[in-house]
């Protein structure tokens, strides 16, 4: 393997074709192959990851979920996320909204499970219901608020959000 010196308009640069590193700026611009990172981080891959997270949340919320039930939830959520998620931000906005809905449903599911086992809940079962209500509401507020922020961010054009962040002057008054 030899490292050759190539002459370019900007001066001498090292051209390492064998290892794929090029110091010539003109060669970097000629490279048209998409990077592997860009193809891996597509909205479809994020939809798959988001559906697995939502399915794990459903499995945690319902203790008696069968593996087929988890698989069906993951498939349905993946379909929804691929359909609605045109960008990675929208995929995660929908995924966090679904996690918020699961968090709201968790205390209700816990109450129904306790009620189906006994007519009069014990103190331990009441503690379980209280924990589910408090943690369910807190986590639902967190996930739904995060989802709201992601939806709001996805609705803004990138250029507008950059100019808003750098422009600290108030708008001129209108007559």
User: How does pLDDT run across 121-163, given as a tens digit for each residue?
Assistant: 899 999 999 999 999 999 999 999 999 999 999 886 654 444 4
Eight-state DSSP code of residue 79: H
Structure tokens at 24: 């010539």
- Of 15 and 47, the structure prediction assigns the larger pLDDT to 47
Share of the chain above pLDDT 90, in %: 45
How high is the pLDDT of residue 160? 47
Q: Is the pLDDT of residue 33 over 70?
A: no
How far apart CA 90 and CA 39 sit, in angstroms, is 18
Mode of pairing for the β-strands spanning 4-8 and 21-22: unpaired
pTM of the model: 0.66
- Of 92 and 37, the structure prediction assigns the larger pLDDT to 92
How high is the pLDDT of residue 161? 43
Q: Kind and range of the H or E element at 4?
A: strand 4-8
Q: Is the pLDDT of residue 169 over 50?
A: yes
Structure tokens at 57: 């949340």
How high is the pLDDT of residue 11? 54
Contact 27, 36 (CB under 8 A): no
Looking at 9-87, which runs of residues are DSSP E strands? 11-16, 21-22
Alpha-helical segments (H) within the chain: 25-30, 36-40, 43-61, 67-84, 88-117, 123-155, 158-166
Mode of pairing for the β-strands spanning 11-16 and 4-8: antiparallel
Which position has the token pair 């990138």? 158
Q: What is the mean pLDDT of residues 98-111?
A: 93
How high is the pLDDT of residue 21? 55
How high is the pLDDT of residue 63? 75
Q: How many Å is the Cα radius of gyration of the chain?
A: 26
- Of 65 and 69, the structure prediction assigns the larger pLDDT to 69
Q: Which residues pair with 152 in a beta bridge?
A: none
How far apart CA 19 and CA 13 sit, in angstroms, is 15
Q: What is the mean pLDDT of residues 164-168?
A: 52
- Of 41 and 59, the structure prediction assigns the larger pLDDT to 59
Q: What is the mean pLDDT of residues 38-52?
A: 84
Query: Could you report the per-residue pLDDT of 7-16, keeping only the tens digit for each?
Result: 555 555 555 5
């Amino acid at each position: 393997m030899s490292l050759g010196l190539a002459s370019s308009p900007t001066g001498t640069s090292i051209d390492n074709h064998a290892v794929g590193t090029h110091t010539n700026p003109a060669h970097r611009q000629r490279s048209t192959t998409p990077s592997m990172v860009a193809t891996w981080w597509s909205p479809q891959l994020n939809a798959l990851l988001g559906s697995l997270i939502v399915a794990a949340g459903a499995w945690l919320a319902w203790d008696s979920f069968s593996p087929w039930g988890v698989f069906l939830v993951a498939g349905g959520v993946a379909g929804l996320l691929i359909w609605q998620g045109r960008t990675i931000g929208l995929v995660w906005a929908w995924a966090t909204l679904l996690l918020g809905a699961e968090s709201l449903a968790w205390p209700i599911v816990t109450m129904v499970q306790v009620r189906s086992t006994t007519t009069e809940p014990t103190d331990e079962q009441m503690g379980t219901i209280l924990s589910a209500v408090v943690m369910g509401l807190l986590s639902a507020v967190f996930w739904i608020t995060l989802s709201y922020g992601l939806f709001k961010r996805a609705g803004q054009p990138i250029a507008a959000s950059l100019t808003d962040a750098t422009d600290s002057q108030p708008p001129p008054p209108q007559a």
